[in-house]
């Protein structure tokens, strides 16, 4: 198991890259979800103002 984790001496760099990529993807998913919710709320507010 330790040989797998060490990845031939490059384990730190490999696992750091995987971790950084996972955090970046999670942040982008969170950002997209919050942007979608904000845009949806703004659209509902705009269309509510226009109805007679």
pLDDT score recorded for residue 33: 98
pLDDT score recorded for residue 39: 97
Q: CA distances (Å), 32 to each of 3, 18, 19, 35, in order?
A: 38, 21, 20, 5
How many Å apart are CA 32 and CA 4, to the nearest integer? 35
How many Å apart are CA 33 and CA 20, to the nearest integer? 20
pLDDT tens-digit profile of 3-50?
A: 888 888 898 999 999 999 999 999 999 999 999 999 999 999 988 876
What ranges do the domains of the chain cover? 2-50
């Amino acid at each position: 198991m330790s040989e797998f984790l060490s990845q031939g001496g490059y384990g730190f760099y490999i696992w750091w890259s995987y971790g950084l990529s996972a955090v970046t993807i999670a942040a982008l998913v969170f950002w997209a979800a919050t942007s979608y919710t904000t845009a949806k709320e703004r659209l509902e507010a705009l269309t509510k103002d226009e109805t007679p």
